[in-house]
């Protein structure tokens, strides 16, 4: 499974001890970002602030590689899914005005929408990615074909936003660009105004965001960065996309300076009432509110901080906007060379802000391997990788994500056989990681090996039965997958019941009802979790797992929550 940079947000592990002078922090952050640039991991702009004061605002690399035009703080970038928070804000303003109800159905506002679906899905479902409507960005060839075409809105809704429901609305979380496109259409319908004009009048003009707007094909956007893809040490222009196709979901451009104005406005009632902001910043499923991810980030073994954040990614660009609201700290990162590790960078910047130890990046092994592949072929690259890794060198990044990214780079270039061999190597190196099998299965599926794809999707699901991507891909391959049923004695289950504290303000409560197990996290609903083994359970509403840990006396006094590539331990407190 490709770890898309449109993912909704990334956990940021930060720390909160002491203060240091802004000048020292500027130098440390600048030095860190220069190292990411040196290793080819970052090319963009950054802004870091605390208590309304900017600590760093700077560009790195180039906005235009052809003309060597440098990035600057006022360079305009496509911001991808960060656009969703602005769509959610427009909806909440219309709720305040009585023009929209959160429990209103799609068909209340779009009477021509498919009735059997539109009568079930509410505005709340669309905002929280719990509608069950299939996201148009998950349809076959959408990035290579459909999103490049110029569609009028009526046709686009009918052919790309009106499919069957994947699940009952409100019961599961599935990140969904269709929902936010529909929200933008609904806002236009109830106001009679173009969505771009609504954004300008009701947000941008009020906040003073003069360098932010909705992108189209006609307007000249001064100081706009070009979007590129990075393959090894080489850059290519990314694919063209008709940006109105991403309306409401990812159609905007902005600067780091404008986004900081927006960040500061959210601490006031200039745009939304406190009541509306409270609703928007309340997590529903998968720690997602209305256009934002809301979660507790671990600071250290004893500290955590409330974080409101979102990332974005769209053809050649990826972005990250993190608000550490209890500290009034802001980290904004824009990149115009594809998939930069912005969440990792935010983590290290946050450590600097809070006077904790931080790490410099390692050189990406994929850049080196790509050169070997292009010069000597995939077999030599595999041999070289194994040799370097066996030497236990600490200067290269050998993480699972490295080979996964490299494999998808070649898959995107239609070099399927090379991609498959890279995915195969990743399975060998990380045999316990479900995603390596998922990615290998996708490579086989693209090659036309249906039987092989089914085999490895099923292997992925053996390791993680909650892998919804694997389940959905098997459905497309004609397989209705059912997880192996595991029966656990009630006496053992009762040993898990109780409250487990992961962070100072974040507790997961485990409740047993017969042979069923339920988990409820602070500020969220209660959801059933399902056994993967006697001690490990998975959610089917979000990609997360829980493992119960026994002490030497056989008492289960710990748990570990696995989510977003993080392992978060918790101690039993009752």
pLDDT at 20 over 50: no
The domains of the chain, with CATH numbers, are 22-353 (3.40.710.10), 363-476 (1.25.40.10), 490-572 (2.40.128.210)
**Of 149 and 65, the one with more pLDDT:** 65
- Let me know if 242 is exposed, middle or buried by CB neighbors in 10 A (0-12, 13-18, 19+): middle
Query: Of 353, 284, 285, which Cα lies nearest the Cα of 323?
Result: 353
Helices (H), 504-552: none
In sequence order, the β-bridge partners of residue 539 are 529
Packing angle, helices 400-412 and 365-376, rounded to 10: 40
Residue 302 pLDDT:
63
Count CB atoms within 10 A of the CB of residue 118. Answer: 19
Residue 46 pLDDT:
99
What is the rounded average pLDDT of the residues 17-40? Answer: 80
Cα 474 to its chain centre, rounded Å, is 23
**Of 383 and 158, the one with more pLDDT:** 383
Buried b (16+ CB within 10 A) or exposed e, 278-292: ebbbebbbbbbbbbb
What is the rounded average pLDDT of the residues 29-49? Answer: 97
Q: What is the CA radius of gyration of the chain?
A: 23
How far, in Å, CA of 449 to CA of 444, rounded?
5
Residue 134 pLDDT:
87
* 346 close to 320: Cβ distance less than 8 angstroms: yes
How far, in Å, CA of 12 to CA of 168, rounded?
31
- Let me know if 412 is exposed, middle or buried by CB neighbors in 10 A (0-12, 13-18, 19+): middle
Q: Average per-residue pLDDT in the chain?
A: 89
What DSSP string runs through 27-70?
Answer: HHHHHHHHHHHHTTS--EEEEEEETTEEEEEEEESEEETTTTEE
How far, in Å, CA of 193 to CA of 88, rounded?
16
Could you read off the pLDDT of 272-330 as tens digits, one per residue?
999 999 999 999 887 899 999 998 766 666 667 788 999 999 999 999 999 999 999 99
Q: What sign has the CA pseudo-torsion 417, 421, 422, 423?
A: positive
Query: Of 111, 162, 101, which Cα lies nearest the Cα of 136?
Result: 162
Structure-token match 């959160």, residue found: 102
Could you read off the pLDDT of 537-566 as tens digits, one per residue?
988 777 788 999 999 888 999 999 987 667
Could you read off the pLDDT of 371-427 as tens digits, one per residue?
999 999 999 999 999 999 988 788 899 989 899 989 998 998 889 999 999 999 999
How far, in Å, CA of 30 to CA of 72, rounded?
14
How far, in Å, CA of 180 to CA of 155, rounded?
17
DSSP code for 459: H
């Amino acid at each position: 499974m490709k770890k898309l940079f449109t993912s909704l947000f990334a956990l940021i592990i930060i720390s909160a001890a002491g203060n240091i002078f802004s000048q020292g922090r500027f130098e440390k952050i600048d030095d860190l970002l220069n190292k990411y640039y040196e290793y080819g991991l970052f090319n963009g702009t950054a802004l870091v602030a605390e208590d309304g004061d900017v600590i760093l605002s700077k560009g790195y690399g180039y906005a235009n590689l052809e003309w060597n035009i440098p990035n600057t703080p006022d360079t305009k970038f496509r911001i991808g899914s960060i656009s969703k928070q602005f769509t959610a804000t427009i909806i909440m303003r219309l709720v305040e005005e009585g023009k929209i109800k959160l429990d209103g159905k799609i068909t209340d506002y779009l009477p021509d929408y498919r009735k059997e679906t539109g009568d079930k899905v509410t505005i709340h479902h669309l905002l929280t990615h719990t509608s069950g409507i299939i996201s148009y960005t998950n349809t076959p060839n959408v990035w290579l074909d459909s999103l490049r075409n110029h569609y009028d809105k009526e046709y686009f809704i009918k052919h790309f936003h009106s499919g069957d429901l994947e699940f009952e609305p409100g019961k599961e979380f599935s990140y969904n660009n269709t929902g936010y496109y529909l929200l933008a259409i609904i806002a236009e319908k109830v106001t009679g105004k173009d969505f771009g004009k609504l954004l300008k009048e009701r947000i941008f003009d009020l906040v003073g965001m003069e360098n932010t707007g909705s992108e189209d094909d006609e307007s000249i956007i001064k100081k706009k960065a070009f979007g590129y893809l990075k393959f090894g040490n080489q850059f290519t222009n990314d694919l063209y996309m008709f940006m109105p196709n991403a309306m409401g979901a990812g159609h905007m451009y902005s600067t780091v300076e404008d986004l900081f104005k927006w960040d500061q406005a959210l601490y006031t009632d200039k745009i939304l009432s406190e009541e509306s902001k409270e609703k928007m910043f309340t997590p529903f499923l998968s720690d997602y509110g209305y256009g934002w991810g809301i979660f507790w980030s671990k600071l250290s073994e004893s500290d955590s901080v409330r974080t409101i954040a979102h990332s974005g990614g769209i053809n050649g660009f990826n972005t990250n906007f993190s608000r550490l609201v209890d500290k009034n700290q802001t980290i904004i990162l824009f990149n115009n060379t594809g998939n930069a590790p912005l969440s990792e960078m935010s983590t290290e910047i946050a450590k600097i802000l809070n006077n904790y130890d931080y790490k410099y990046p390692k050189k990406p092994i994929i850049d080196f391997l790509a050169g070997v592949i292009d010069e000597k072929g995939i077999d030599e690259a595999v041999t070289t990788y194994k040799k370097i890794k066996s030497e236990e060198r600490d200067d290269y990044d050998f993480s699972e994500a490295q080979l996964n990214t490299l494999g998808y780079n070649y898959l995107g270039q239609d070099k399927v056989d090379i991609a498959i061999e890279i995915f195969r190597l990743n399975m060998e190196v990380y045999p316990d990681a479900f995603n390596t099998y998922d990615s290998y299965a996708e490579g086989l599926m693209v090659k036309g090996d249906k039987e092989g794809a089914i085999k490895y999707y099923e292997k992925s699901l053996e390791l993680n039965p909650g892998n919804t991507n694997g389940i959905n891909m098997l459905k497309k391959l004609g397989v209705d997958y059912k997880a192996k049923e595991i029966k656990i004695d009630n006496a053992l289950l009762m040993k898990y019941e109780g409250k487990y504290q992961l962070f100072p303000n974040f507790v997961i409560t485990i409740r047993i009802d017969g042979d069923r197990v339920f988990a409820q996290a602070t500020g969220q609903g209660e959801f059933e979790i399902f056994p993967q083994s006697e001690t490990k359970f998975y959610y089917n509403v979000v990609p997360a797992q829980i493992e119960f840990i026994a002490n030497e006396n056989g008492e289960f006094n710990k748990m570990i929550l696995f989510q977003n590539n993080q392992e978060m331990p918790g101690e039993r407190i009752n």
